[in-house]
């Protein structure tokens, strides 16, 4: 039996749909920006130019320094949240791993994965990154 392979020739005209999508997308952005500028309200009063935060009057400068602990906890949350995302494929394919005979090896790999993150978590706790009393 012969296998017939077709050679796909890429010519500049084959990129025309991509170019059309880029032009239409950029054109849509420009049209929306111009339309919002033309149709938008033009009256700038003192009340409209004041910062508004949920109806609570602003107190002080918004550019005041903020504690690094907040950002550190946020980054740690993202880090450990991503760890949970990597568990999903393992949980979904667990039966397939058992059926193929690789279940024990995959289980050891997951334990190693958890151990790495557990070492990082222990390091974070020992450094006091989660202590808010400072």
Q: How far is CA 68 from CA 77, 117, 120, in A?
A: 14, 22, 19
Q: Which residue has the tokens 């991509």?
A: 18
The tens-digit pLDDT sequence of the chain (134 residues) is 566 666 567 788 888 999 999 999 999 999 999 999 999 877 878 777 777 667 777 677 767 777 777 788 888 888 888 888 888 888 888 888 888 888 888 889 889 988 988 898 899 889 888 787 75
φ, ψ for residue 53 (rounded to 5)? -130, 90
- Write down the pTM of the prediction: 0.46
- Other Cβ atoms closer than 10 A to 106: 16
End-to-end CA distance of the chain: 76
């Amino acid at each position: 039996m012969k296998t017939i392979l077709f050679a796909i020739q890429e010519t500049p005209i084959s990129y025309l749909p991509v170019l059309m999508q880029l032009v239409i997308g950029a054109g849509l952005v420009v049209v929306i920006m111009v339309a919002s500028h033309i149709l938008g309200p033009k009256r700038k009063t003192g009340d409209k130019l004041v910062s508004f935060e949920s109806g609570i009057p602003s107190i002080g400068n918004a550019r005041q320094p903020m504690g690094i602990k907040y950002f550190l906890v946020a980054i740690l949350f993202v880090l450990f949240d991503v760890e949970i995302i990597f568990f999903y494929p393992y949980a979904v394919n667990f039966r397939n791993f058992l059926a193929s005979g690789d279940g024990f090896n995959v289980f050891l790999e997951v334990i190693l994965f958890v151990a790495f993150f557990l070492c990082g978590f222990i390091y974070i706790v020992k450094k006091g990154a989660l202590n808010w009393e400072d």
